[in-house]
Structure 1
Amino acid sequence: MQKITKALSNKNLIFFFSFSTHSSSSSSSSSSTIPSHIQIPNLVSFYFPLLHTSPNPTHLRHLHARLLRTSLYSNIILSSKLLLSYSRLNKLSPDALSVFFHMPHRNIYSWNIIIGEFSRSGSPLKSLELFLQMRNSDVLPDVFTVPLVLRACAAAGSIDCGVLVHGFCVKMGMERSLFVASALVFMYVTFGKVFYARVVFDEMPLRDSVLWTSMLAGYAQNEEPMLALSVFRDMVCVGVELDGVVMVSLLLVCGQLGWLKHGKSVHGWCVRRCIGLGLSLGNALIDMYVKCAALCYGRNVFDKMPERDVISWSALILGYGLGGCLDIAFGLFDQMHMQGVQPNDVTFLGVLSACTHGGLVETARSCFKMMKDYGVVAELKHYACMIDCLGRAGLLIEAERLIEEMPMKPDGAVLGALLGGCRVHGNLEVGERIAKRLIGLEPERTGYYVLLANIYSDAGKFDDAGRVWDILKQRNMSKVPGWSLIESKSCFQFLPKDKISSSFKTS
């Protein structure tokens, strides 16, 4: 009996589907009428899987139109599913917005979909605006809403909004949710507030792999490698399952510390676990090998990657550029251009670095102008590299003129590059002007005073050099000593005055 009833029900659905199709050209009153013998629940169960499996926007808009011609559009289940289907097609289109804003009733599900879509589509401020509208409605945010809003705060660059949302979480008792805690850590890490991220982390009674990985990545991204390693050791101790995402953060730490041997170990672990060379892992390996001056290993990873993006090319070009391997850096840049990959700011930084190390002033000028052709806006780091290139070549007046033409105020790296050129070529006049600007910009940096004193000494003006040293003494300032790292079985940090035992052997 139940099978017969189900079959009859399906026949009714097929009849209505045909009825609604052929009536599209008739009046709106007849097209919006549902035959009385067809029950709404049956139609919901009929349309729901169609929305779920809708293959393309055209098909979805067709179903959208069918729902509009019936009273089913007011069904919150179907309208929410329609909205989700649009979002899964990555289409924050006028159709999707129409669904949301014309819904007679909105539930938490529909609010979360639209807030998340605006955040992912590059409109975080609109997400925050919708969150405020939601707060003024009769729908309360849940633990899935808050992470979407926190990510919107991070994307919008508003830590103040993030702190307010954090307070809302505490008020609503959501701060112990793993979803919320991971989003809070991500938000604080994005703004460089790793201390507050760690407070959130430490207050969690239970932690999952996502939360652990977020904290590890936060320390790594904010150049706190030792703290990142501490978190990793704790992860191993408590038995957190390690995956490729964790390895990407570890590779970043190894690159920051110059730990080639440990970086190779991470690479080997990934190979043994058969973790493929995806973009994130492959780029992290290239970056680590480049920072550890193991360019041959980085190139080997690059050649084995099944897919490469602009980050892959740029990391390798920058490594060869900083290493003074001009032909290889320029060759990679040409290959990148031939394969249709659009260079970015890091790519041009690598090419300019190669020009600087090779003394190729004309090539550097051409590359600097070429950036405009690719829509890349020159940043402070590009100007610093260009000034360094001109300064090394003795073109100090041209370098100073370029500084004056900059659309932004020069920072210490830009002015310091020119001051270094003045020291090399003994130009006291330009050196004095630049040194005064640097000291006014960063008065606590002792290196500028030392460089100016050396320029005076090289020019034979020992009285002026003495006055500079006296200023350092009066302000109780001393030169920060440089240090180096040597990796053997462990990693050793030493200063110039340190003595290394003759029995020390590198492995």
Structure 2
Amino acid sequence: MLRAGVSPDYLTYPFLVKASSRLLKWELGVAVHAHVMKTGFESDKFIQNSLIHMYASCGDIVYARKVFDGMLIRNLVSWNAMLDGHAKCGDVISARGVFELMPERDVVSWSSLIDGYVKNGEYREAISVFEKMCGSGPKANEVTMVSVLCACAHLGALEQGRMMHQYIIDNGLRLPLVLQTSLVDMYAKCGAIAEALNVFRGVRMSRTDVLIWNAIIGGLATHGLVKESLELFTEMQIVGITPDEVTYLCLLTACAHGGLVKEAWHFFDCLNKHGMTPKSEHYACMVDVLARAGQLAEAYQFISQRPMEPTASMLGALLSGCMNHGKLDLAEIVGRKLIELEPDHDGRYVGLSNIYAVEKRWDDARTMREAMERRGVKKSPGFSLVEISGTLHSLWEDPIMECLQTLDTQILVGAAVALVAIGAGAVYFYCSNKPKGFTFYLLFFKF
């Protein structure tokens, strides 16, 4: 076009910027922006909106903000582009700030904020925003519901997920395949396998894709329905759907739950045979298969022969297998490697400390606690999410409980040793869990 001597106009540039955005070519987008400024179209709001979206899509939120701040007249598209840009870059605080300042909002505004919270792992906040949207905002669309169902799936909030499904029905929303896949995924992850299968079977086989098959196979595999997941994989191949890397990850998960070592090796080898490169997740799953089956030496050798450094998920799977099968010497080696790999992860220190506690190596266990304090690593309190009448409640563990339980154990062991030393014929222990969570030990002995 330029070689032919034809000058672009205000209609040309938005398409060029959009192409740069979809290709994630920041340099190309900057070149187009420079051409826009050279030809005097920098104040056109349609071009400016496209530039905001392009910069944000390429991860350059600073330049996106500069374009936004330089606009003399902003419309809803401008605000939505800036909001979506912050959300896509993982800055939900700034995204929320833009949202609160917006003079008007539409379904895109609400959906972008909800999706931002979901992608940032703030699932409860995503559902909270959706509830506010239902109260004072526009009607949700299919894009909104995909994000909200994802939040419910990660929280295991089955009742809320069912309410979202009912919302879709009551509001007459279309059910594109991506939304049906989200429903299957939500029900499967929440353990409602019958409902997941019901939604899945409601989709015509000719309309299915690999994503919805992965959702149902993975859901069955995670909940130990090994035979059913493998049967669905066979059915998937019959209808002509080509498996991808995620499919094989789901199958390896099924093999881990079912103790199917031979089948796991077959699926792992299929990755290479079908031109796919195994990722760290596949290696971790294969380690889990071997570790659960008690083949700990093979699992350790498998990790050692891997061309790249082992990941925390691989070592974590091996550590779990070592603990379950009483291989504490190997567990200690793996535990130390995990601390080297993730020195700021509180769970790694606690895991190794627990190994020492099982072996009654109290000094080493204390050393782990001291190492945590030295490095400024604090143990995160445990919590559980309980869903009551569609509302999620958090139950947090008080940090003092662990200290009390450790102290109880040490006092109990010390008392037992002393009693045996003075000639006690037998020592009996009785454990009672009280309503507030304290553990009391009653000690009985006879001479």
What is the TM-score normalised by the length of structure 2? 0.80
- Counterpart CA distance in 2 for 1:166 and 1:275 is 34
Does the C-alpha gap of structure 1 residues 337 and 141 become closer, same or farther in structure 2, counting only changes over 3 Å?
A: farther
Cα RMSD (Å): 2.8
Q: 1:194 deviation in Å?
A: 1.2
Task: Give secondary structure in 2 for the equivalent of 1:342.
Answer: coil
Computing the radius of gyration from Cα coordinates, the structure with the larger value is 1
2:13 corresponds to: 111
Residues 203, 500 of structure 1: alpha-carbon distance in 2 compared, 3 angstrom cutoff: same
Match of residue 347, structure 1, among 236, 240, 247: 247
Pick the aligned partner of 2:131 from 221, 227, 233.
233
Query: Which of 63, 67, 84 is the aligned partner of 1:164?
Result: 63
Q: Go from structure 1 to structure 2 and tell me whether the alpha carbon gap of 1:290 and 1:141 turns closer, same or farther (over 3 Å shift).
A: farther
The equivalent residue for 1:417 is: 317
Match for residue 35 of structure 2 among 116, 122, 133? 133
Contact 1:286 1:298 in 2 (8 A): yes
Provide the residue aligned with 2:117 in structure 1. 219
In structure 1, how many angstroms separate the alpha carbons of the residues matched to 2:96 and 2:109?
A: 11
* Partners of 1:143 and 1:179 within 8 A in 2: no
Instruction: State the alpha-carbon separation in 2 of the partners of residues 302 and 124 from structure 1.
Output: 40
Distance apart, 1:472 and its partner CA:
4.5
Residue 259 of structure 2 is matched in structure 1 by 359
Q: Which moved more, 1:422-431 or 1:454-463?
A: 454-463
Alpha-carbon separation, structure 2, partners of 1:222 and 1:472 = 27
Residue 251 of structure 1: how far off its partner (Å) = 1.5
Aligned equivalents of 1:177 and 1:407: distance in 2? Answer: 52
> What residue is the counterpart of 1:55 in the other structure?
none
1:434-482: CA deviations, max 9, x gaps?
A: 2222112222323222322333344464543443345456667664343
Secondary structure of 1:437 counterpart? helix
2:272 to 361, 372, 378: 372
Greater shift in the superposed pair: 298-307 or 367-376: 367-376
Q: What is the aligned partner in structure 1 of residue 156 from structure 2?
A: 258
Which shifted more, 395-404 or 365-374?
Answer: 395-404
| Post-superposition CA distance 1:160-208 (Å, at most 9, x none) | x33112212212335x432122122222222211112122222222222
2:63 aligned partner, one-letter code:
L
- 8 Å CA contact 2:83, 2:95 repeated in 1: yes
- CA distance, structure 2, for counterparts of residue 228 and residue 245 of structure 1: 13
Q: Structure 1 residues 464, 113: CA separation in 2 closer, same or farther (over 3 Å shift)?
A: closer
Offset of residue 217 of structure 1: 1.9
Q: Which residue identity lines up with residue 395 of structure 2 in the other structure?
A: F
- Greater CA drift, 145-154 or 334-343: 145-154
Number of residues of Structure 1 aligned to a counterpart in Structure 2: 399
State the match for 2:238 in structure 1. 338
Answer yes or no: is the 8 Å Cα contact 2:48–2:67 preserved in 1: no
2:203 aligned with 1:305: yes
Task: Report the identity percentage.
Answer: 33
Residue pair 2:53, 2:64 contacting (<8 A) in 1 also = no
Deviations 1:219-271 (A, max 9, x none): 12322123223322332333423322222222222222222112112212222
User: SS where residue 173 of structure 1 aligns?
Assistant: coil
Q: How many Å apart are 1:368 and its aligned residue?
A: 1.5
Task: Say yes or no: does 1:319 pair with 2:219.
Answer: yes
- Distance in 1, matches of 2:183 and 2:2, equals 43
Say whether 1:456 aligns with 2:356: yes
Supply the distance in 1 between the matched residues of 2:3 and 2:118 (Cα, whole angstroms): 42
Q: Secondary structure, in 3 states, of the residue corresponding to 1:376?
A: coil
Matched to 1:216, the amino acid is I
- SS class of match (2:386): strand
Report deviation, 1:355.
Answer: 0.7
Following superposition, the deviation at residue 410 of structure 1 comes to 3.0
Name 1:395's counterpart in structure 2: 295
What letter is aligned with 1:167? K
Partner of 1:93: none
Contact persistence 2:106–2:137 (CA under 8 A): no
What is the rounded CA distance, in whole Å, between the counterparts of 2:355 and 2:256 in structure 1?
22
CA contact (8 A) 2:107 2:141 kept: no
Contact 2:118/2:151 (8 A) holds in 1: yes
AA aligned opposite 1:295: I
Q: Which residue of 2 aligns with 1:445?
A: 345
The alpha-carbon distance between structure 1 residues 485 and 391, as it changes in their structure 2 partners (threshold 3 A), is same
Aligned-partner residue type, residue 194 of structure 1: V
Partner of 1:72: none
Unaligned runs of at least 5 residues, structure 2: 402-433, 438-447
CA offsets 1:294-334 (integer angstroms, 9 cap, x no match): 11111111111242221111111111111111111111212
Look up the SS of the partner of 1:223 in the other structure. coil
Tell me how far 1:137 sits from its aligned partner. 3.1
Do residues 242 (structure 1) and 140 (structure 2) align? yes
Length-normalised TM-score, structure 1:
0.71
Rounded to whole Å, the distance in 1 between the matches of 2:358 and 2:137 is 61
Matches of 2:105 and 2:140, distance apart in 1: 14
Match in the other structure for 1:79? none
Instruction: Give the Cα separation in 1 of the matches to 2:68 and 2:369.
Output: 55
